[in-house]
Amino acid sequence: MSPAQPAAASITRQQQPIDDLCAAAIRAITGEAALHFRGRSLYRGDRALPPFAPHLSPTPQSDDFSSFRGAADAMALRLRFSDAAVHKQLCPPAALPRLLFEMLEQFRVEALAPADMPGLVHNLRHRFEAWSLEFFYSGLTESARGILLYTVAQVCRAKVTAQPVLHASEDAIEATRMAVVPSLGGALAGLRRSRHKQSLYAEHALQIAEKVNAMFIAGEADETRPRGTDAAHDAQDADKPALFNLRMDFEADSDPVFSAANSGQSRLLGESALGYRIFTQEFDTEIDADSLVRAAELIEYRERLDKRIEQQAIQQARLARDLQAVLCAPQRDGWLGGQEEGYIDGRQLSRLITSPEERRLFQVERQTPQPEAALSFLVDCSGSMREHIEAVATLIDVMVRALDQIGVASEVLGFTTRAWQGGRAQRAWQRAGRPPHPGRLNETCHLVFKAYDTPWRRARRSIGAMLKADLFREGVDGEAVRWAAQRLVQKHDGRRLLLVVSDGSPTDGATALANDVHYLDHHLSQVVSQLAAQGEVEVYGVGVGLDLSPYYRHNRAFDLAHSVSNTVLREIVSMLAAGPRHRSWQ
């Protein structure tokens, strides 16, 4: 166990309470009770709010608590002092002018921080300085365009807030500042004067955005871009830390980067005294997935999966270390002697006489990480997932292999139906005279790709069965989540984690037609809420091109169309580390 592992785990595991504290501060300043964090995004109810400005995205790996408080205070001021409708109407459509306009509006609301709240003012300044230092020392200011953006941000904020520019970079930006300030002219001077009037301020901000955009385009024509000098392009590199997310969707009323799952309340389920109903379970099955695939096909699927994994350049060893820091706890494993500090080793005291200069007379407790958790993967095998399944299988296979390396038990499950549009279950309902509100009307099929006690090497071929195309039909998510959680409870006594991988809402045509359109997704929400209340299983959602936050409080969404990057894997580990029942390293 490396010394960095406990520290990394401790930092990551503290993120959830930090988010909770920051959300509470935002609610206190704005008076809006529905504001909360999910992942790293601020939500109003079930709707994600935009990030507002690049410097409002601190990371637990590089930023301290004051940075998170500063970002939260800045978001609160934006919600309190900025009219979103006016801002949307005036915001320019082009990417760079829009970025600059957003930054300038954020600087305006930060300049309106109440003078009787010096702690809040300090937090705002601290966050901007931390972001500025990361930008400055990252190398992004080594190009003409990079130093231009950095200088404009420094000069404009200093002008609006009447605070000095960052001292550490003052000399470095002086030449650019002397060239830029005369060009911006009266627009720059007008920022401070008009900070209390959003519309008037926006006129000056738009002038600055347009002029800087022209400078940027001119610089682009004169400069051949070396790698690493343009944040807007380098952010596309999935494995480079996104210190300065300059490609942001700022529109407050637009969809987030990933659209949210289409969910709603079922009137029928909400009003029913009997709750969720199943017309018949006669045709439901639970089966080992490899039994549905011919042996030759399994070999072919496994080879295809191995080839894809080789092309991803995944850092398997690092993934295993990260998972170990989150899912294992240090336990005493004897003593390590021959140390120069620690507890005195009585067996070595005689060496004081025979070798008076000997200092290795101490011993320290030896600690080794031991698994304290089990993790189950539950894969949505509905029809729409067919196009994503190779990427999903890659993701799960490398994670299961890493879990196996550190001794954490895992299970890989899937769910689908045995028929389209109800099958035998629907026909049984028809024969019964079509009684109203029958509940679920299809034949569920629960799949086991890797059993809890099966090591990865023995399950490699079975995991490849995920690639069989005709497994994918419809999905009854709520029942599958409950089934997977029950299996975890039966097999493990420690921390239990269930990772649901899906690209959409529950869907079954027969059930929707015979009940109502939101019957299944309402049930999924109920199941997840009940599991959270019981506290026995932590449920996480991994959205494949979809925001699953309407169902899962702890969730991440990813675009897996091209590859499974190391960044995606680290994001998932970070989500698990911030779970509700984690334990800190002692």
Per-residue pLDDT in tens (0 to 9) along the chain, 586 residues: 444 444 444 554 566 788 889 999 999 999 999 898 876 678 887 677 887 898 998 887 778 899 999 999 999 999 999 999 999 999 998 888 898 999 999 999 999 999 999 999 999 999 999 999 988 888 888 888 889 999 999 999 999 999 999 999 999 999 999 998 998 888 998 999 999 999 999 999 999 999 998 888 776 545 444 433 343 343 333 333 333 444 444 443 443 456 777 778 888 888 877 889 999 999 999 999 999 999 999 999 999 999 999 888 888 888 999 899 889 887 776 677 777 777 777 677 777 777 777 777 777 777 677 888 999 999 999 998 998 999 999 999 999 999 999 999 999 999 999 999 899 999 999 999 999 999 999 999 999 999 999 999 999 999 999 999 989 999 999 999 999 999 999 999 889 999 999 998 898 989 999 998 899 999 999 999 999 999 999 999 999 988 898 899 888 888 887 678 888 898 899 888 877 654 433 3
pLDDT for the residue numbered 131: 93
Instruction: Measure the CA–CA gap between 92 and 96, rounded to whole angstroms.
Output: 9
Q: What is the side-by-side order of every strand in the sheet holding 35-38?
A: 35-38, 41-44, 47-48
Closest listed residue to residue 504, CA positions, set 421, 384, 395, 416: 384
Domain 267-324+373-577 - what CATH class? alpha beta
Name residues whose C-beta falls within 8 Å of residue 191's C-beta, 6 or more positions apart in sequence: 104, 107, 108, 156, 159, 160, 201, 204, 205, 208
* Torsion on CA atoms 85, 91, 94, 97, rounded to nearest 10: -150
Closest listed residue to residue 585, CA positions, set 368, 434, 417, 294: 368
How many CB atoms neighbour CB 185 within 10 A?
12
Secondary structure letter of residue 21 according to DSSP:
H
Where do the CATH 3.40.50.410 domains begin and end in the chain? 267-324+373-577
How many CB atoms neighbour CB 433 within 10 A?
6
pLDDT for the residue numbered 201: 96
* Torsion on CA atoms 394, 395, 397, 399, rounded to nearest 10: 160
Looking at this protein, which amino acid is placed at residue 148? L
Instruction: Measure the CA–CA gap between 444 and 512, rounded to whole angstroms.
Output: 15
